[in-house]
Amino acid sequence: MSPHASDDVSVESISPYGTARATVKDTPLSKEEAKKIDDYFKASLYLCLGMLYLKQNPLLQEPLKVEHLKSRLLGHWGSDAGQIFTYIHFNRLIKKYDLDSIFISGPGHGAPAVLSQAYLEGTYSEVYPDKSEDVEGMRRFFKQFSFPGGIGSHATPETPGSLHEGGELGYSISHAFGTVYDNPDLIALTMVGDGESETGPLATSWHSTKFLNPITDGAVLPVLHLNGYKINNPTVLARISHKEIESLFIGYGWTPYFVEGSDPETMHQAMAATLEKCVTDIRAYQKQARESGKAFRPHWPMIVLRSPKGWTGPRKVDDHYLEGFWRAHQIPLPDVATNAAHLKLLENWMRSYEPEKFFDESGKLIPELKELAPQGNRRMSANPVANGGLLKKPLHMPDFRNYAIEVHRGGTTEAPSMSNMAIFIRDIIAANQTNFRLFGPDETESNKLGGVYQAGKKVWMGEYFEEDGDGGNLDFTGRVMEMLSEHTCEGWLEGYTLSGRHGLLNSYEPFIHIIDSMVNQHCKWIEKSQEVEWRAKVASLNILLTATVWRQDHNGFTHQDPGFLDVVANKSPEVVRIYLPPDGNCLLSCMDHCLRSSNYVNVIVADKQNHLQYLDMEAAVEHCTKGVGIWDWASNDQGCDPDLVMASCGDVPTMESLAATALLRENLPGLKIRFVNVVDLFKLVPESEHAHGLSDREYSAIFTNDKPIIFNFHSYPWLIHRLTYKRPGQHNLHVRGYKEKGNIDTPLELAIRNQTDRFSLAIDAIDRMPSLGNTGAATREKLLNAQIRCKNEAYENGIDPKMLQEWVWPF
């Protein structure tokens, strides 16, 4: 069917049809075993079609009629057979070798596959007693699928055994690796869709083996499912030559084993033999490394499973291809309600799976098949790793107060907030050597967190060169995970926390947008998990953003974007928390709080450079606990109403706001100024909208109802308006922030471009107080001139004037 014949086209070699072609040539199953597995396979496939179609008559105990069908047919058939096939063959090995395993379902909308298994294994009925193992339970189980008020067509949080939803594609392999790090006995059997494989995040995540230690970590066993089609297109990997696909995975560092075909009998033998080969290889590599104490990077086994999309369905319907084509992607026969012939076809098809043989009259799976599945927590649908909160142990946390930066008087001493905090993290790493990891896309050192290497180096299973000894900080065993892929780092961290451990991702602020969508999806996972009774809380996903916009003056415009906060703020208030500590002690306090929390996505924004310090530890703890507060030491409105509120959120903005306050007080000594700092961004929204929100009364007590507020914000200014639009006095709120004005600048110039510098803020304040009259106007003029002078000096020398760099709070 090629549009132009060519020698390069060789259809036969890669067709998914026929008897099995496999790398491993063994036939380990007895006839009886093979038959039982095939029966279990059929029972599973029956359940899949049941979920797609039925709300009544679940066991087809009467002839199929339109009224048994759901009114709106939803769900996906395409990858179900291949996934089930893999799952049930692995069950045999779990039992044979007593494996500790989970199943990660990568292909899109493959939930029927895993749901069928959870139901057959009894787990489903255990966690949802109304979906019992009988006819009525099965009916409910079918009806709820892709039904309003029911469950989705992904492996959502409601799915026992799942920690990977797969709604958005691309993260199965990185999630899988996250689960096996520091889980030496675990094998994550990971089904990877060939559609999913085209995504960038998936394509690079195969390299995760360079960061996996066979002594201390478990193993990922990927099964790349060459299902052939996506929604409406063939997949790239299913349409390249055998040599190419084989080379690709050798290149990625794996040993690919092929299982290809459609004939169930031979395919069962091939899959059984191949999976067993993989499991024994994995165990052999682990044994070699563990017994010798010498870690190395094996060429881990993986499987390429080529089977037809919609396998076991009708190949053609009304002269159109169904099985083995993209038409099998979703509901395979969509018009059964209106086409009697198709309804009959569906009935015959469903009956061909022989439900009456495999389920007894009461609707229960027959014991001969039931015994094929493992027992208890060995069932992949019941493995507590996939409900990681059950396994989660609290971190051993040193007292963060011990890392305090000494601050005698606010705003007069500089210190490196970030590298100081690194020592706290270092000691957390030291105290939690198998329970905590730090992740980052090659920026940990640049982000001034290099101190952590004293307690845990960077895991590196690639080759070593002589210069690595010169400060390379690489090791086979380490606690820091660095690959230049935000996607992979985030995926690892998600997998690591979802399976019951703790972690922190550090990233340049501008490039965290790369994983906007991943973080969105994780927020959604956590939110839904909170509604699932049997799910235990997992550790929060902690993201530390540094190399922030205001100190990316020298890296240029591409490195200037503080908008991740807008993305996060759109997610459910049940889940998201945002902190912008103004100094080093507040940073410690926030980090401590985040690492102790669970079921949140915490974002901390803090610059990595030296900064003025404001609060001693006691004051910092109090301030962070409140989340927002008046800084008395920087205010002069004690005992009276202020004329003006200067407010700030973020470390650099706080310094500029303080400097503006000082300029105003120096030049207009009669002015009563209140200084407010916000650490916890969600304090700004009403209490009805976020658990952290202030009541209007609390808000007004801090910000006033009627005084001008000059608010200097770290991110885009509109976010503050968005959070406060319901507040009394919001019309007095004048917000400055990053306005997408930048290039190669000095820090001051970047601030001036965006009007967040001390001079602009002081001028803003004067402009909002016309009652200052001529005195105000004269001060305004003076400030404007000072601003211009500073700017000129910066342009001339390429650095900001000393007077600004060395500015301290003068009162």
Position 334 contacts its own copies (CB under 8 A): no
> In this structure, are residues 226 and 235 in contact, taking their beta carbons and an 8 Å threshold?
yes
CB of 458 to its own copies, least distance (A): 7
Of 594-653, binders to its own copies (CB under 8 A) are none
Cβ distance to its own copies smaller for residue 122 or 301? 301
Three-state secondary structure call for residue 418:
helix
| H helix or E strand, kind and range, residue 703 | helix 696-703
Cβ atoms < 10 Å from Cβ of 391? 16
Cβ distance to its own copies smaller for residue 40 or 145? 145
**437 vs 459: CA distance, rounded Å:** 10
Cβ distance to its own copies smaller for residue 458 or 665? 458
Using alpha carbons only, give the angle 760, 766, 771 rounded to the nearest 5 degrees.
170
**326 vs 272: CA distance, rounded Å:** 27
**Amino acid found at 359:** F
Of 467-486, binders to its own copies (CB under 8 A) are 467-472, 474-476, 482-486
Cβ distance to its own copies smaller for residue 73 or 431? 73
Of 728-767, binders to its own copies (CB under 8 A) are 730, 740, 743-746, 749
Position 71 contacts its own copies (CB under 8 A): yes
User: Site mask, its own copies, residues 223-242, x = CB under 8 A?
Assistant: -----x-xxxxxxx--xxx-
Burial of 610 (0-12, 13-18, 19+ CB in 10 A): middle
Cβ atoms < 10 Å from Cβ of 578? 23
Cβ distance to its own copies smaller for residue 467 or 806? 467
CB of 144 to its own copies, least distance (A): 9
Position 196 contacts its own copies (CB under 8 A): yes
**Binding residue for its own copies (CB under 8 A) from 21, 95, 140, 207?**
207
Q: What are phi and psi of 577, to 5 degrees?
A: -140, 135
What are the C-alpha distances in Å from 427 to residues 201, 418, 432, 536? 32, 14, 9, 27
**40 vs 240: CA distance, rounded Å:** 33
**Binding residue for its own copies (CB under 8 A) from 248, 272, 380, 549?**
248
Position 21 contacts its own copies (CB under 8 A): no
Cβ distance to its own copies smaller for residue 243 or 408? 243
Q: What dihedral do alpha carbons 139, 142, 146, 148 form, nearest 10°?
A: 10
Position 458 contacts its own copies (CB under 8 A): yes
Q: What is the largest CA-CA distance in the chain?
A: 100
Cβ distance to its own copies smaller for residue 362 or 797? 797
**Binding residue for its own copies (CB under 8 A) from 340, 788, 799, 803?**
799
User: Site mask, its own copies, residues 553-582, x = CB under 8 A?
Assistant: xxxxxxx-x-x--xx-xxxx----------
Query: Which string of DSSP letters, residue by residue, matches 58-118?
Result: TT--S---GGGB-SS-----TTHHHHHHHHHHHHHHHHHHT-EEEEEE-STT-HHHHHHHH
- Helix-helix angle 340-351:31-53, to 10 degrees: 150
Stretch near its own copies under the rule CB under 8 A, chosen from 125-133, 291-299, 601-609, 703-711: 291-299
Position 465 contacts its own copies (CB under 8 A): yes
**Binding residue for its own copies (CB under 8 A) from 65, 98, 185, 200?**
200
**Binding residue for its own copies (CB under 8 A) from 283, 692, 721, 782?**
721
> Which single residue is written with the structure tokens 């209490």?
687
Position 792 contacts its own copies (CB under 8 A): no
**Binding residue for its own copies (CB under 8 A) from 93, 180, 202, 761?**
202
**Total length of the chain:** 811
489 Cβ neighbours under 8 A, 6+ residues apart: 439, 440, 441, 481, 482, 483, 505, 507
Of 26-55, binders to its own copies (CB under 8 A) are 55
Cβ distance to its own copies smaller for residue 55 or 268? 55
**785 vs 792: CA distance, rounded Å:** 11
Cβ atoms < 10 Å from Cβ of 517? 14
**112 vs 464: CA distance, rounded Å:** 45
Cβ atoms < 10 Å from Cβ of 686? 15
CB of 378 to its own copies, least distance (A): 29
Stretch near its own copies under the rule CB under 8 A, chosen from 396-404, 436-444, 580-588, 662-670: 436-444
**Binding residue for its own copies (CB under 8 A) from 38, 60, 97, 203?**
203
Cβ distance to its own copies smaller for residue 36 or 309? 309
**471 vs 455: CA distance, rounded Å:** 14
CB of 270 to its own copies, least distance (A): 22
**420 vs 473: CA distance, rounded Å:** 19
User: Site mask, its own copies, residues 91-130, x = CB under 8 A?
Assistant: ----------------------------------------
> In this structure, are residues 395 and 595 in contact, taking their beta carbons and an 8 Å threshold?
yes
Position 62 contacts its own copies (CB under 8 A): no
**Site residue total, its own copies (CB under 8 A):** 149
> In this structure, are residues 614 and 631 in contact, taking their beta carbons and an 8 Å threshold?
yes
Cβ distance to its own copies smaller for residue 455 or 586? 455
Of 496-535, binders to its own copies (CB under 8 A) are 510-511, 513-514, 516-517, 520-521, 524, 527-528
User: Site mask, its own copies, residues 73-92, x = CB under 8 A?
Assistant: -x------------------
CB of 799 to its own copies, least distance (A): 5
Cβ distance to its own copies smaller for residue 464 or 534? 464
CB of 724 to its own copies, least distance (A): 9
Position 4 contacts its own copies (CB under 8 A): yes
CB of 414 to its own copies, least distance (A): 18
Of 673-692, binders to its own copies (CB under 8 A) are none
**Binding residue for its own copies (CB under 8 A) from 250, 366, 777, 788?**
250
Position 217 contacts its own copies (CB under 8 A): no
Of 438-457, binders to its own copies (CB under 8 A) are 442-446
CB of 281 to its own copies, least distance (A): 15
Position 798 contacts its own copies (CB under 8 A): yes
**217 vs 344: CA distance, rounded Å:** 51
Position 719 contacts its own copies (CB under 8 A): yes
**Binding residue for its own copies (CB under 8 A) from 396, 462, 695, 781?**
462
Three-state secondary structure call for residue 656:
helix
Quickly count helices (H) and strands (E) in the chain: 25, 23
Cβ distance to its own copies smaller for residue 27 or 517? 517
**Binding residue for its own copies (CB under 8 A) from 101, 105, 123, 156?**
156
Q: What are phi and psi of 691, to 5 degrees?
A: -60, -25
Query: Facing residues of 465 across strands?
Result: none
Q: Check residue 674 and report its DSSP letter.
A: E
Cβ distance to its own copies smaller for residue 8 or 291? 8
**353 vs 41: CA distance, rounded Å:** 9
Of 314-333, binders to its own copies (CB under 8 A) are 320-321, 324-325
Cβ distance to its own copies smaller for residue 74 or 345? 74
**636 vs 630: CA distance, rounded Å:** 11
**9 vs 708: CA distance, rounded Å:** 73
Position 67 contacts its own copies (CB under 8 A): no
Using alpha carbons only, give the angle 467, 470, 474 rounded to the nearest 5 degrees.
85
Q: Is the dihedral of CA 288, 291, 294, 296 positive or negative?
A: positive
Cβ distance to its own copies smaller for residue 272 or 386? 386
Position 243 contacts its own copies (CB under 8 A): yes
Cβ atoms < 10 Å from Cβ of 197? 25
